[in-house]
Amino acid sequence: MRGRRSIYLGLCAGVGAALWISGGCFAVSPSPQAPGADGGGGATGATTAETGAGGSPASTSSGDDFGKGGAPVDEVDEPDKDGDGFTVADGDCNDDDTNVNPGALEVAITEPDDTGVVPEPADEDCDGEIDNVLPTCDRNIAPADFDAIHGAHAVDLCAKASPGDRKWGVLSAEYVRGDGSPAEPTPAVGVLDSFGPNVHAQGGTRMLVLSTGRARIAHWPGACNSSSCTNYGPGAAPPGFPQDNPDCPPSSTINDDIGLELVLRTPTNATGYEFAFKFYTFEYPEFVCNHFNDQFLALATPAPPGSLNGNLSFDSLGKPVSVNIGFFDVCEGCELGPDELAGTGFGLWHDAGATRWLRTHAPVTGGEELKLRFMIFDTGDDALDSTALVDGFRWVANGGTVAVGTTPVEDPR
């Protein structure tokens, strides 16, 4: 039995064709004419020694080279022995392990199995490399960039998938309003390497910033330089939102709503995923437990068990991410003090506060399509802006069960 697998942090994985031969994974280089040479259709299952010119089967008089009906062996459909949806002809380099196939996440095995032994590393994604970790993809993105695929890169989702293949990764990305309609370019979106001098990216070199005002550092080009700036005006919230707070019901109207909507294909061996976020607002402390409480949402479709109308991020009492969330502890007199407000603009033109870095985790079914929307909106009016930082997305493929929940990121200090 294979041991538990660690979370893999290098998310720009490619998938190559491979062949399982005598207990090992070997790269296959099909001829340009061979079906599946682009990695989308899968390898033919034949080595170069078994093909003639142009990728046609080499002539032979041996009956061992032919299957039933006289067809060459490499043209006979082989069964999917492990039931993971991939055959050897599809590029599955170990058809006895459901965690190994071209649609799987490459992971590093760090924990012992049931016998107390750490198994030998394996090539889970069948690309011919073992435990390969490729560079991140969020370098050199401009702060005002409004390309949604770069927004995906900013949260550390690097791999790209296509409707015609079975690879994991981003299928599509779009900036949207609360009702799902496309959003016009706006400074409500930013891609930053830091938020003030004391808040840095949680993965890669940059993070996604969504704001009901301006997603910029104080005094930068395009910054609000005030506690209130409007972008889109009135909007329509997703069904079931703003989310009710058990103690402080919010207004039903929203303004300046903006979100990044991603459609992802999940790795076949993933059981969950995680991402980090941090929420800032000018509503502290004046409007605590008031109907003006702005909200940050992370909406998943299909909605997993334990979510609230598909929303993944809330505290243990079911309070949504707003000024009322239980993790709101960055401010004057709060547990973490005001240091993480410095240089951001929050607290400069009006009292303000923030959460610490938090990490939300949620379950997922391997190989499925997942729609994930990160969004923020003003509630009740368009005044006193709020901002959310989103970063550090990663898949969980350790074989364990993942439940919906949000917990503080461990303070490295």
- Provide the number of structural domains found in the chain: 2
In a domain, 143, yes or no: no
Q: What is the pLDDT of residue 134?
A: 66
Residues 169 and 112 in one domain: no
Q: What is the pLDDT of residue 157?
A: 97
Q: What is the pLDDT of residue 19?
A: 30
Q: What is the pLDDT of residue 3?
A: 39
In a domain, 284, yes or no: yes
Q: What is the pLDDT of residue 89?
A: 93
The DSSP element (H or E) to which 279 belongs, if any, is strand 272-281
Closest residue by Cα to residue 179 from 234, 248, 121? 234
In a domain, 339, yes or no: yes
Closest residue by Cα to residue 299 from 131, 130, 179? 179
Q: What is the pLDDT of residue 108?
A: 79
Q: How many CB atoms lie within 10 A of CB 250?
A: 23
Residues 255 and 280 in one domain: yes
Q: What is the pLDDT of residue 111?
A: 75
Residues 38 and 124 in one domain: yes
pLDDT tens digits, 185-232 = 999 999 999 999 999 999 999 999 999 999 999 999 999 999 999 999
Q: Which of 135, 170, 203 is the last residue of a domain?
A: 135
The overall pTM is greater than 0.85 = no
In a domain, 141, yes or no: no
Q: What is the pLDDT of residue 411?
A: 59
Closest residue by Cα to residue 376 from 193, 232, 201? 232
Rounded average pLDDT per 10-residue block, the chain, 413 residues: 39 35 33 35 32 35 39 58 92 93 87 80 90 83 98 97 94 98 97 97 97 95 93 95 84 95 97 98 92 95 97 94 94 95 94 97 97 97 96 92 94 49
Residues 97 and 176 in one domain: no
Alpha helices for 124-220 (secondary structure H): 148-154
Q: Which of 83, 104, 135 is the last residue of a domain?
A: 135
Task: State both tokens at 268.
Answer: 């076949």
Residues 248 and 114 in one domain: no
Rounded CA separation 74/44 (Å): 7
